[in-house]
Chains A and B, each alone.
Chain A
Amino acid sequence: MVSHTSPPFLAGLYLGLSQAGYLLTLSRALSSAHLTYALVLGAWLAGAALGLWLAIAPRTALALGLTVYVAVQLTLTQLDFVAVSPWCFAPAVAASGLWSGRFFVTAIVGRTAPGELFARETDGFLVGALLATLGYAFAGRHALWVLPLVAGAALLRPRTQ
């Protein structure tokens, strides 16, 4: 039987890698000013909230978010510094955050208790955010599109249960 519910730890890992990836890349290429941080957090939260209500298939939301994320990363990977407002990337960040809301909508009616669900997702998010920072510091900017792509592909892979 094909499962449509993603494992919470892996979901959190992917989300942590993506959010930290946006923050690290935009801070490097555009600006390290507080606006960048506030914008990534605000757009991500807005996307996640929207994802709770939008009637879009979770896998579609995941594929959309991952595609947009990788496109942004590959574009900015080509550039060391660029004079573009961080606001231009707010829609992309929100699109990637969308799946966070869709994930919880799907998972909350599953077998995992709510507290355990949120806790495992948070554990994964923590590991993802740390991996993104370590990956960037030790392996460079390419780590920031490779790692989320691998995690996203693992989530998109059909699972049987």
Chain B
Amino acid sequence: MTTDAAWPRRADAAEGASAREPGPRGEVVALLLAGFCFGGGQQVLLREFAGLLYGEEVVLLLVATAALAAASLGYRLGGRLGPRALAALLLACGALQLLSPGLPRLAVAGLCRLRGGSGPELLAVLGVCAFVAAAPFAALLPALLVRQVEPHARLAALRRTYTAELLGFGLGTAAATALGDRPGLRLGLHALGLVGLVHVALGRPRWTLAFAGAAALLCAVRGPLAQAGADAVYRHKHRIPGATVLWSVDSAHQRVEVVQAPGRGMMLYLDGLRDLDERDLAVLNHYLARAPARLLRPARALLLGNGTLSLVPELAALSGELLTVEIDPAVVDAGARFFTPAAPLAKLRNWGLIAADGKAFLAATDQDFDMIAVDLPSPLTLGEAYLHTREFYALCRSRLRPGGVLAVQLSGGLGDPGRTPARLIAGLRAAFDDVAVVDSALADRAFAYASDALPFDEADLRASAAPGERGLTVLRGPALAARIGDAQPLTLDDLDLVLRRGAERLRDRHF
């Protein structure tokens, strides 16, 4: 028998708490609800801070670290705090969670406004929010188990309560993910879980009533609170004067936001990182797909990414058939609402849309293409980086018809051989025999075209410059090889660039 004197017996633990204690069934319900709120809270925390600190892989790791460290602290507190302290922890953290649609954003925006930019204090906000989202739920399981002194009773309690918590965690995570595009409903469900937990775990009807009243009030002000928080973040953290968030949803993959500002038009942000700016869209689309498609006139073209669908009407007109493959339906939704008029899309008879990961689609399909255009964010997460590797380019080549062309935007201008654009070019050169690069001053980035034998030359590309181009450099063959020097391709087994670059950006922003 275990006789650790630090573990209070059931009767000792209840001292000082006049409330009714839950029986075995109540414990199961309490842990089910705790798991539900725990899972939902983690999902919301991840999306919130990926959006606030920007969704590079390093930030995702940082948020996951904060969440697990907070859970660990919660477990320790659960074994040490008395019933009153645990009740206070649950009530305080529960109330703060119901402010989550606005509070973290307003706190981050306020700190940025005070400093005039981002600083390390934002990481402290993450720490506090992670504690609020995890600690009260993690604390419950050990708090219940510690009351069981007999090994058999403790084992039985572990089986029923931990099973309930695992089940609740899965359900809470699934519900929060599925309801990311209905934030009001998501918060309402979380509030219901919290009220139920307060009722079952604390057993004080007056506290339940008071908490339920506060929860109803906070759910009612969710909309204005979330809007104020989102606008404040773009005005004071992103430093866009007059910015207004027109649309904000959490997809299963990322936070998708459409922002409008005077003189800037509409912008799409994915996990806080600007994906596109209405002002830059035309020139970006020109070099990525319009120029090669005009030269190539593909019978069958494939667009990977480009969830905003901004390329679709024109590329469909230049191609026999066009297929778009986009992983995130929420980006497609944002595109159809704000960036690409729905009417022309509805009339297209030669265009199809598939919601899938680009590499999974290419690995599974038996179709081949005359042109593949890859319109993806920079390799700042592993998931994005897979689609910038030498192996992925080789997969693309295997799905191109003879003379077919892969078009890629290189996430920046040609620069140092260690930087992303040069490494992507090295990957393309490793997978293809013939690669040409255009570096556009107007687009402020470079684009690459790769093939077994490009059906156009440097003069064709110069003649295809975008209207208003201020300076276009075209490189191919030995000139291109000399320009990228000893740059190494990104490969599936060499993705440290993702973490190094993310760490650099995080340091530059916060330290």
Contact = CB atoms under 8 A, between A and B. Distances in A.
Interface of A: 24, 27-28, 30-34, 37-38, 41-42, 45-46, 48-49, 52-53, 80-83, 101, 104-105, 108-111, 113-119, 122-123, 125-126, 129-130, 133-134, 136-142
B258 to A, nearest CB: 21
B44 to A, nearest CB: 16
B71 A122 contact: yes
A49 B61 contact: no
A116 B61 contact: no
Contacts of A83: 360, 363-364
A109 to B, nearest CB: 4
Given A31-B356, A53-B159, A109 B2 contact: yes
B141 interface: yes
Contacts of B141: 114, 118
Contact of B391 (A81, A116, A122): A81
Interface in B60-106: 61, 64-65, 68-69, 71-73, 75-80
A99 to B, nearest CB: 14
Contacts of A37: 252
Contacts of B155: 105, 108-109
29 contacts: A28-B386, A31-B359, A32-B359, A34-B252, A37-B252, A38-B177, A42-B170, A45-B166, A52-B163, A53-B159, A80-B492, A81-B395, A83-B360, A109-B2, A111-B2, A113-B4, A114-B78, A114-B141, A114-B142, A114-B146, A118-B142, A125-B68, A126-B65, A129-B68, A133-B61, A133-B499, A139-B493, A140-B494, A141-B492
A109 B154 contact: yes
B509 interface: no
Contacts of A118: 72, 75, 78, 138, 141-142
Interface of B: 2, 4, 6-7, 57, 61, 64-65, 68-69, 71-73, 75-80, 138-139, 141-143, 145-146, 151, 154-155, 158-159, 162-163, 166-167, 169-170, 173-174, 177, 252-253, 327, 356-357, 359-360, 362-364, 382-383, 386, 391-392, 394-395, 492-496, 498-499
A110 B177 CA distance: 37
Given A53-B159, A137-B496, A137-B499, A32 B145 contact: no
